[in-house]
């Protein structure tokens, strides 16, 4: 009896595997403050959008301050917590001597970073320190052509902000020209655009972004970002993920940190992926290439937020499936699971059964330490669910973005998690049949078709997916 009990405990222990490793400390989020409240542009909309462009990267927390003068008075108080970067979406009255002195001290002496957006370079004529900080200024004689899509060219590939970045293609905006360079300013041009005479331009390349220093502080400045009050069509400027990435990378550099954000915009294919035949399944704005499982359209619990497809907890949204079916494929995706959360990505899903998991093998998405399923190695993040445990524990802290990949080819399936190959197993043949027979899927028509849909699972917890791209093989 004792030997039998010991054998049972040993078997359970082997099935569970070792406990998941302690999570690595969460990556620090950089506090950013968007300063606004007055502008000759639609600041009421753009300031929140700029904050969203920072937050969606996962690298920043962001707040919007509509009274910069009061903000800097608070910053002058002893013990006030400093942001890492100040984003100026402001073109209005001066702030007053105390507030302005505090602003200059924070940047020049303490190294707080600054990002200057579009018409903020119009502001504060005659304030020498501000003008030196900004570098290129809209002053008498400056102008711009019509609002239109144009290419923005990287001219400095050596700077950390623009290193490995591609040119911005057909970005919708306006091109400032005849800007004035502030005397004593320290800045270098990173990007430019051709100011087309047919669009009211100068017929030459004009600077679109600069980087420089002011004392200990770093300053990133872009003349892009135009949204005109009463002209909703110009909001397309900030719908462009190319601009959002540029500003986020500029803010990360200005904060004093290394630029770690990828050079490819969210939900955009890289040049190599385009060349290799990948197709994007999400543009960051609309859920068009997905629909509900056994449904004509996605249910309301799946929404677009922070450039991601997000499943709201407890919404009863049901699973999403791709509009198209795939046989052999290479599917790459980013995902973020909430603490104690559970979800998954299935493939070769058919709609003749009640649930996606009855037909489709699953790439597990889980908070390994916070969810009860984490005690079973075959149920941990990156596992081929209930069939093959991940070979390495490389899951990031819940709430952080992870990178996943599923490759199904020639009767084998491979899973990658955050760049590590964690599963390499057959998905057809006798060995596969034996694994399925020993699993909870034994009584279902599991992976019995050569083609099917990819599914994103609603397991009742918040989960977000983005950068969804696939190549049929």
**Confidence grade of residue 22 (pLDDT, cut at 50, 70, 90):** low
CATH code of residue 43: 3.40.50.880
Residue 46 within a domain: yes
Are 61 and 179 in the same domain? yes
Are 249 and 277 in the same domain? no
Are 215 and 301 in the same domain? no
Are 91 and 159 in the same domain? yes
pTM of the shown model:
0.87
Closest CA to 307 of 117, 465, 461, 166: 465
| Helix 68-75 × helix 97-108 angle, to 10° | 60
**Cβ 329 vs Cβ 349: under 8 Å:** no
Residue 185 within a domain: yes
Could you tell me the end-to-end alpha-carbon distance of the chain, in angstroms, rounded to an integer? 54
The pair of three-digit structure tokens given for residue 30, joined into one six-digit string: 């950089």
Are 235 and 310 in the same domain? no
Residue 6 within a domain: no
| d(C-alpha 420, C-alpha 405), whole Å | 10
The pair of three-digit structure tokens given for residue 159, joined into one six-digit string: 């700077």
Residue 12's pLDDT is what?
A: 38
Residue 453 within a domain: yes
Residue 371 within a domain: yes
| d(C-alpha 308, C-alpha 335), whole Å | 9
Q: Which residues of 108-136 are buried (b: 16+ CB within 10 A; e: fewer)?
A: beebbbbbbbbbbbbbbeeeebbbbbbbb
Average pLDDT over residues 283-308: 91
**Confidence grade of residue 7 (pLDDT, cut at 50, 70, 90):** very low
Q: Cα angle vertex 204, ends 200, 207, to 5°? A: 95
Last residue of one domain, picked from the residues 254, 285, 300: 254
Are 366 and 337 in the same domain? yes
**Cβ 205 vs Cβ 146: under 8 Å:** no
Flag whether pLDDT at 4 surpasses 80: no
Are 211 and 343 in the same domain? no
CATH code of residue 339: 2.60.120.560
Handedness of CA 196, 200, 204, 206 (dihedral sign): negative
Residue 217's pLDDT is what?
A: 98
Are 161 and 218 in the same domain? yes
**Cβ 266 vs Cβ 56: under 8 Å:** yes
Residue 27's pLDDT is what?
A: 62
CB-count exposure of residue 180 (10 Å: 0-12, 13-18, 19+) = middle
Residue 189 within a domain: yes
Are 156 and 228 in the same domain? yes
Whose tokens are 């998954």? That residue is 344
Number of domains in the chain: 2
Are 220 and 275 in the same domain? no
Residue 342 within a domain: yes
- Give every CB contact of residue 70 below 8 A, 6+ residues apart in sequence: 99
| d(C-alpha 391, C-alpha 242), whole Å | 36
Are 308 and 389 in the same domain? yes
Residue 287's pLDDT is what?
A: 94
Whose tokens are 């290129």? That residue is 136
**What secondary structure letter does DSSP report for 19?**
P
Average pLDDT over residues 157-172: 97
Domain extent at residue 310: 271-472
Last residue of one domain, picked from the residues 254, 279, 298: 254
Residue 151 within a domain: yes
Average pLDDT over residues 73-77: 96
Query: Which stretch of DSSP H or E encloses residue 277?
Result: none
Last residue of one domain, picked from the residues 229, 254, 279: 254
Are 245 and 337 in the same domain? no
Pinpoint the alpha helices (H) of 136-224. none
Whose tokens are 């499936």? That residue is 321
Whose tokens are 């900030």? That residue is 238
**Confidence grade of residue 315 (pLDDT, cut at 50, 70, 90):** confident
């Amino acid at each position: 009896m004792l030997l039998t009990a010991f054998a049972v405990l040993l078997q359970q222990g082997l099935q569970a595997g070792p406990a998941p490793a302690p999570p690595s400390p969460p990556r620090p989020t950089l506090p950013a403050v968007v300063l606004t409240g007055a502008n000759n542009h639609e600041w009421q909309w753009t300031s929140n959008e700029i904050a969203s462009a920072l937050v969606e990267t996962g690298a920043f927390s962001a707040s919007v301050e509509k009274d910069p003068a009061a903000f800097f008075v608070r910053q002058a108080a002893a013990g006030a917590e400093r942001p890492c970067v100040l984003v100026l979406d402001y073109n209005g009255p001066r702030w007053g001597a105390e507030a302005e002195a505090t602003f200059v001290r924070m940047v020049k002496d303490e190294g707080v970073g600054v990002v200057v957006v579009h018409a903020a370079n119009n502001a504060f004529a005659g304030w020498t320190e501000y003008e030196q900080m900004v570098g290129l200024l809209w002053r008498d004689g400056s102008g711009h052509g019509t609002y239109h899509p144009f290419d923005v060219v990287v001219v400095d590939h050596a700077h950390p902000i623009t290193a490995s970045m591609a040119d911005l293609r057909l970005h919708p905006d306006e091109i400032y020209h005849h800007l004035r360079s502030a005397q004593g300013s320290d800045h270098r041009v990173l990007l430019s655009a051709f100011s087309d005479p047919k669009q009211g331009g100068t017929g030459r390349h004009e600077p679109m972004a600069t980087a420089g220093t002011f004392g200990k502080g770093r300053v990133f400045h872009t003349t892009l970002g135009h949204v005109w009050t009463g002209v909703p069509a110009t909001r397309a400027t900030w719908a462009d993920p190319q601009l959002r990435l540029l500003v986020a990378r500029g803010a990360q550099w200005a904060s004093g940190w290394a630029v770690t954000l990828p050079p490819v915009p969210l939900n955009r294919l890289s040049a190599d992926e385009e060349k290799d035949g990948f197709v994007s399944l999400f543009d960051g704005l609309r859920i068009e290439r997905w629909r509900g499982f056994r449904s004509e359209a996605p249910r309301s619990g799946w929404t677009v937020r922070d450039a991601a497809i997000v499943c709201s907890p407890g919404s009863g949204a049901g699973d999403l499936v791709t509009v198209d079916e795939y046989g052999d494929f290479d599917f790459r995706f980013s995902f973020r699971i909430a603490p104690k959360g559970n979800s998954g990505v299935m493939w070769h899903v058919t709609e003749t059964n009640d649930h996606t998991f009855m037909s489709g093998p699953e790439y597990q998405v889980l908070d390994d330490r916070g969810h009860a399923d984490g005690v079973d190695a075959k149920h941990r993040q990156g596992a081929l669910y209930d069939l093959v445990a991940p070979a390495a524990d490389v899951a990031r802290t819940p709430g952080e973005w992870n990178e996943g990949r599923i490759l199904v080819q020639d009767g084998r399936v491979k899973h990658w998690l955050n760049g590590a190959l964690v599963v390499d197993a057959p998905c057809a043949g006798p060995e596969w049949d034996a694994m399925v027979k020993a699993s909870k899927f034994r009584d279902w028509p599991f992976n019995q078709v050569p083609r099917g849909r990819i599914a994103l699972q609603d397991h009742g917890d918040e989960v977000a997916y983005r950068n969804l791209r696939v190549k049929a093989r």
